């Protein structure tokens, strides 16, 4: 038994309405989905309630009133607590419903949830996302234009593909990664490489700055060469143009994600030497600027080393 709306579309329950969850909810509402929402801060839902979403006073109420429950939360322990800890969401979900975690989380937590969900007839999937930044970061996050990496049963992926598109997934960028855990793995590795790019690019910019090079010319030359990266071409522009180190994703979450990546490496027996160096640099940025400083705070470390701000 489901609670599908009059248009035959599943009712979506979304828990976590921050910089990622909110634009995804706006997108789904614009596609006609009914939505029940919950977050620690109700003010985060004001724009969604104005668009027709329903507020749930507790996370468990979301589970009770939804056909598909989606979590978009900071860390694996938050997902665990909301779903099978004090949040009690899974306990309230109906047989035949689906849980989709769109956080950057871990397969260990997902497996714990799945072990309890399977006997209840509840499907479990993960679908972590990445903003497709083709503009300075602040601008790119005004709407959901997403890559989505889906792990779970293929039939569940096929069933929910329209929903992934409605949440902001770019059709050709919605990937079926494989069984449970594969989606998490791709997202964690994507983040890991981005943080390595951030550190390496910052080091090159610092050297170039000390040599007196025009950083825009350096950027253009590098982008036209085999060293081109999305970070170099787009993301760093928010620093160059506005001194914006992207507090929409904080350095404490960066360090959490790097540690998830190193944990994956440890499972495989790969000695992630480069990743560990990147981790030390980002931990230094966390210690220097505080846990809520922006995800590109490692750039600040190199600006200090160069004795100048990277502006163009």
Residues 175 and 190 in one domain: no
CATH number at residue 126: 3.40.50.720
Q: Does a structural domain hold residue 146?
A: yes
Domain boundary among 179, 194, 228: 179
Q: Encode pLDDT of 158-174 as tens digits.
A: 999 999 999 999 999 99
Residues 19 and 163 in one domain: yes
Report which of 154, 148, 147 is spatially closest to residue 179, judged by C-alpha positions: 154
Share of the chain above pLDDT 70, in %: 94
Q: Does a structural domain hold residue 1?
A: no
Q: Encode pLDDT of 279-305 as tens digits.
A: 999 999 999 999 999 999 999 999 999
Residues 230 and 101 in one domain: no
HSE, CB side, 13 Å, CA atoms: give it for residue 169: 22
Residues 296 and 239 in one domain: yes
Q: Does a structural domain hold residue 243?
A: yes
Cα separation, 118 vs 102, in Å, equals 19
pTM of the predicted model, to two decimals? 0.91
Q: Measure Cα distances from 153 to 102, 103, 123 in Å.
A: 16, 18, 9
Instruction: Evaluate if residue 117 carries a pLDDT over 90.
Output: yes
Q: Encode pLDDT of 48-90 as tens digits.
A: 999 999 999 999 999 999 999 999 999 999 999 999 999 999 9
Cα separation, 225 vs 36, in Å, equals 47
CATH number at residue 281: 1.10.1040.10
Residue 209 has a pLDDT of 97
Domain boundary among 162, 179, 196: 179
Q: Does a structural domain hold residue 2?
A: no
Q: Measure Cα distances from 68 to 15, 90, 138 in Å.
A: 11, 11, 30
Q: Encode pLDDT of 232-257 as tens digits.
A: 998 999 999 999 999 989 999 999 99
Domain boundary among 179, 199, 220: 179
Mean pLDDT within 112-116: 97
Q: Does a structural domain hold residue 86?
A: yes
Furthest C-alpha separation in the chain = 68
Residue 3 has a pLDDT of 59
Share of the chain above pLDDT 90, in %: 89
Residue 248 has a pLDDT of 86
Residue 213 has a pLDDT of 97
Residues 217 and 147 in one domain: no
Q: Does a structural domain hold residue 4?
A: no
Residues 52 and 131 in one domain: yes
Domain count, the chain: 2
Report which of 104, 55, 119, 110 is spatially closest to residue 84, judged by C-alpha positions: 110
Instruction: Evaluate if residue 137 carries a pLDDT over 50.
Output: no
Q: Encode pLDDT of 145-204 as tens digits.
A: 899 999 999 999 999 999 999 999 999 999 999 999 999 999 999 999 999 999 999 999
Cα separation, 10 vs 8, in Å, equals 7
The range of the structural domain enclosing residue 230 comes to 186-306
HSE, CB side, 13 Å, CA atoms: give it for residue 114: 18
Residue 239 has a pLDDT of 95
Could you tell me which residue, 73 or 133, shows the higher pLDDT? 73
């Amino acid at each position: 038994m489901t609670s599908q709306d009059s248009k035959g579309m599943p009712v979506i329950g979304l828990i976590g309405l921050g910089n990622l969850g909110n634009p995804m909810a706006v997108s789904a509402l614009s596609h006609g989905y009914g939505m029940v929402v919950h977050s620690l801060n109700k003010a985060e839902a004001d724009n969604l309630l104005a668009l027709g979403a329903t507020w749930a006073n507790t996370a468990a109420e979301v589970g009770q009133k939804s056909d598909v429950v989606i979590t978009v939360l900071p860390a694996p322990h938050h997902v665990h607590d909301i779903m099978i800890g004090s949040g009690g969401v899974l306990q309230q979900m109906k047989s035949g419903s689906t849980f989709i975690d769109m956080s950057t989380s871990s397969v260990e937590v997902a497996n714990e949830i799945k072990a309890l969900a399977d006997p209840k007839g509840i499907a479990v999937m993960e679908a972590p996302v990445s903003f497709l930044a083709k503009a300075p970061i602040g601008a790119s996050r005004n709407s959901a234009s997403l890559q989505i990496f889906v792990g779970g049963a293929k039939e569940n992926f096929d069933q929910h593909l329209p929903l992934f598109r409605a949440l902001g997934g770019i059709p050709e960028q919605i990937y079926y990664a494989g069984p449970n855990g594969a989606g998490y793995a791709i997202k964690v590795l994507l983040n890991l490489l981005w943080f390595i790019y951030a550190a390496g690019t910052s080091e090159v910019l610092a050297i170039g700055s000390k040599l007196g090079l025009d950083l825009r010319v350096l950027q253009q030359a590098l982008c036209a060469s085999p060293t081109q990266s999305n970070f170099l071409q787009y993301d760093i522009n928010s620093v160059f143009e506005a001194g914006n180190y992207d507090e929409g994703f904080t350095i404490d979450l960066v360090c959490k994600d790097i540690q998830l990546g190193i944990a994956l490496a440890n499972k495989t027996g790969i000695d992630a030497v480069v990743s560990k160096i990147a981790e030390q640099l980002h931990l230094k940025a966390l210690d220097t600027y505080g846990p809520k400083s922006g995800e590109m705070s490692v750039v600040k470390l190199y600006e200090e080393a160069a004795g100048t701000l990277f502006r163009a």
